[in-house]
Amino acid sequence: MSKAASQTTAETLADPRWAAVIARNPDVEGQFFYSVKTTGVFCRPSCAARTPLPENVSFHASAAAAQAAGYRACLRCQPTAAPLAQRQADLVAQACRYIDGCDHLPALAELAQVAGVSAHHLHRLFKTVTGVTPAAYAPAARHARLRHELRDTASITAAIHEAGYGSQARFYAVADQVLGMTPRAYREGGRDMPIEYALGTCGLGAILVAPSERGVCHIALGDDAANLLAVLQTRFPKALLEAGTAGFNAMVAAVVAFVDAPATGLDLPLDLRGTTFQLRVWQALCAIAPGQTASYAEIARRIGAPRAVRAVATACAANTLAVVVPCHRVVRSDGSLSGYRWGVERKRLLLCLEAQSAGAAPDASGTSGASVARPDGSAGSGAPVVPADAGP
Ligand SMILES: [Zn+2]
C-alpha cells in the first residue's frame, strides 16, 4: 500500500461516517454520500452493495458534490432519487388515496397492481408505514366516509350507498360497532339518546364517568365539574345527559377508587371505540404496568409499526378513558412529559403517585393494574379486549 493510500485508509477508518457505512445505517440517510474510487460510483450510506475497501472511499456532503467529483450514481441504492423512506411513504399514501376513492373494497392484488409492486411487498410496506394492513385500512376508510356522508347526505340510505356499502343489511351488521349507535341517532348527534353520567371527586380533582350499554365509555378529569360535563355534551351534542342513579354511583365509586390507586385493578366492562390502529395503541398502553413508562417510539415498536410514532401520539391524545387506558404512562424518548388531555400537571402527579406505590409494594405478579371485563361481559384481566374489526 502506498503512503498516500495508507493515509486515506487511516482518515477513513477514523471518520464516524465510515462506521455508518459499515453498519449500513439508514438513520444517517441524506446526511452524506460515499464514493468508491475503483468502481467510479457513489452510494447512500445504507447501500446494500458490498462494503468497499476504506482506502478507496471518499465522503461527499451531497449527491451533487459526488457527481461534480466525477462519480456516477449507484444503480442499486439510487442516491439521486428521493430517499427510500420517502418513496415508500409516497407509495403507501398513494395506495391510501386509491382506497379512499374506491367505490368498492379493493383486493390486495388490485392495490399492488396500481402501485406497481408485488402484493407481498405492498402488504409489508403498508403495515410498516400505517400500522395496519390494507385489509384493515379499507373498511376504516369506508367507515370514515360514512360518518362524513351521514352529516351531509339527506337520506341515510343514500349515505350508506355513497360510502360504498353494497347492501343495507351488510351495513347495519357493522353500524353499531362503527358508530356505537344507530345511523339515525349518529346523524342527529345522538339526539334523545340517554347518556347517564356521574360526577365525583378523586385525588386528581373532579371526575366524570359515563357508560354506554356496553361499558364505561368516557372518563374525564378536570378542575371543574361543569367543564367536564360541557365536554361530554360537545361529544354527544343532542343526547340527553342524565345524572345517574344510586346503583350507578357504585360504579363511579369503583372508577374513583381505581383512579386513586391504579395498581388495585378495575373490574368493570369498558366500551372502547376507535379505529383499528387506535385500539391497538390503547391495548399496548394497558400493558404498561403502573409505575412504568414507555416512549411513543417504544409503543410504535411494540405494535409493530416503528415508523408510526406520530400516529401513536395522536392515538394517545384521542383516548377518552382517563387512567383506565393509561396514556399518562407514555412520555417522550428523553423521559420528559409531553402533553396530557386532562392537564400535564395531573399527568406528573399520576406518575409520581404510581412510582411511589410501585416502590412501596412491588407488583411481584408482574400483572398490569387494569383488570377489566371483556366487552361481552365475561371477566378478563390485563389489557382490555377490544373488538377485532371495530372501525373508526
Ligand atoms: Zn449504492
Q: What is the CATH number of the domain that holds 201?
A: 3.30.160.70
The separation between CA 179 and the C-alpha centre of its own chain, rounded to angstroms, equals 20
- Residue 54 Cα, ligand 1 centroid: separation in angstroms? 15
Residues near 116 by beta carbon (within 8 Å), at least 6 away in sequence: none
Judge residue 187's burial from the number of C-beta atoms within 10 Å of its C-beta, 0-12 exposed, 13-18 middle, 19 or more buried. buried
Res 390 pLDDT > 60: no
Q: Is 351 part of any domain?
A: no
Name the CA dihedral angle for 310, 290, 258, 278, rounded to a multiple of 10 degrees: 20
Which of 16, 39, 73 is at the close of a domain? 73
Q: Is 219 part of any domain?
A: yes
pLDDT confidence of residue 317: 87
- Residue 47 Cα, ligand 1 centroid: separation in angstroms? 4
Active site residue 74: no
Which of 187, 209, 233 is at the close of a domain? 187
- Residue 188 grid coordinates: 342527529
Q: Is 313 part of any domain?
A: no
Indicate whether 46 and 98 sit together in one domain.
no
Indicate whether 113 and 204 sit together in one domain.
no
pLDDT confidence of residue 373: 31
Q: Is 367 part of any domain?
A: no
Q: Is 112 part of any domain?
A: yes
Indicate whether 209 and 166 sit together in one domain.
no
Indicate whether 164 and 91 sit together in one domain.
yes
Which residue among 43, 47, 96, 316 is the active-site one? 43
* Per-residue pLDDT tens over the stretch 78-124: 898 877 767 777 788 788 888 877 777 788 999 999 888 899 999 98
Residues present in the chain in total: 392
Residue 39: which pLDDT band, with cuts at 50, 70 and 90?
very high
- Residue 44 Cα, ligand 1 centroid: separation in angstroms? 6
Greatest mean pLDDT among 63-67, 106-110, 194-198: 63-67
- Residue 387 Cα, ligand 1 centroid: separation in angstroms? 45
Mean per-residue pLDDT of the chain = 77
Q: Is 65 part of any domain?
A: yes
pLDDT confidence of residue 93: 79
- Residue 179 Cα, ligand 1 centroid: separation in angstroms? 50
Among residues 242, 141, 154, which one has the least CA distance to residue 193?
242
Q: What DSSP string runs through 41-101?
A: EEE-TT--SPPPPGGGEEEESSHHHHHHTTPEEPTTT-TTSPPHHHHHHHHHHHHHHHHHH
Which of 73, 96, 113 is at the close of a domain? 73
* Per-residue pLDDT tens over the stretch 235-260: 777 677 777 766 667 777 788 888 87
- Residue 289 grid coordinates: 404496568
Question: Of 41-50, 78-87, 332-341, which range is least confident?
Answer: 78-87
- Residue 34 Cα, ligand 1 centroid: separation in angstroms? 9
- Residue 356 Cα, ligand 1 centroid: separation in angstroms? 53
Indicate whether 158 and 121 sit together in one domain.
yes
Greatest mean pLDDT among 6-20, 181-195, 220-234, 376-390: 6-20
Question: Between residues 81 and 331, which one has the greater pLDDT?
Answer: 331
CATH classification at residue 92: 1.10.10.60
- Residue 307 Cα, ligand 1 centroid: separation in angstroms? 23
Neighbours of 375 (CB within 10 A): 19
Count of structural domains, the chain: 3
- Residue 84 Cα, ligand 1 centroid: separation in angstroms? 12
Indicate whether 146 and 119 sit together in one domain.
yes
- Residue 71 Cα, ligand 1 centroid: separation in angstroms? 12
Residues near 146 by beta carbon (within 8 Å), at least 6 away in sequence: 159, 160, 163, 165, 171, 178
Contact 18, 45 (CB under 8 A): no
- Residue 135 grid coordinates: 385489509
The separation between CA 206 and the C-alpha centre of its own chain, rounded to angstroms, equals 28
Phi and psi at residue 342, to the nearest 5°: -105, 25
- Residue 37 Cα, ligand 1 centroid: separation in angstroms? 13
Question: What mean pLDDT comes out for the span 4-33?
Answer: 86
What distance in Å separates the CA atoms of residue 380 and residue 203, rounded to the nearest whole number? 27
What distance in Å separates the CA atoms of residue 19 and residue 34, rounded to the nearest whole number? 12
Active site residue 47: no
Residue 327: which pLDDT band, with cuts at 50, 70 and 90?
very high
Which residue among 202, 316, 327, 352 is the active-site one? 327
The residue assigned the cell 386513586 is 260
What distance in Å separates the CA atoms of residue 192 and residue 153, rounded to the nearest whole number? 21
What is the domain extent for residue 175? 84-187
CATH classification at residue 7: 3.40.10.10
Res 365 pLDDT > 50: no
- Look at residue 330 and give its three-state secondary structure: strand
Indicate whether 30 and 59 sit together in one domain.
yes
Q: Is 88 part of any domain?
A: yes
pLDDT confidence of residue 28: 85
pLDDT confidence of residue 379: 33
- Residue 176 grid coordinates: 353499531
What distance in Å separates the CA atoms of residue 190 and residue 98, rounded to the nearest whole number? 32
Question: Between residues 96 and 331, which one has the greater pLDDT?
Answer: 331
Q: Is 221 part of any domain?
A: yes
Indicate whether 203 and 251 sit together in one domain.
yes
Indicate whether 159 and 125 sit together in one domain.
yes
Indicate whether 41 and 59 sit together in one domain.
yes
Indicate whether 213 and 167 sit together in one domain.
no
Res 329 pLDDT > 90: yes
The residue assigned the cell 408485488 is 118
pLDDT confidence of residue 151: 63
Res 73 pLDDT > 80: yes
**DSSP E strand boundaries for 122-239:** 194-202, 205-211, 216-222
H/E run at residue 350:
helix 344-360
The pTM assigned to this predicted structure is 0.48
- For the chain, what percent of residues have pLDDT higher than 70? 73
Indicate whether 171 and 200 sit together in one domain.
no
* Per-residue pLDDT tens over the stretch 264-302: 777 677 777 777 788 888 888 988 888 889 999 999 999
Q: In what order do the strands lie in the sheet with 216-222?
A: 216-222, 205-211, 194-202, 240-243
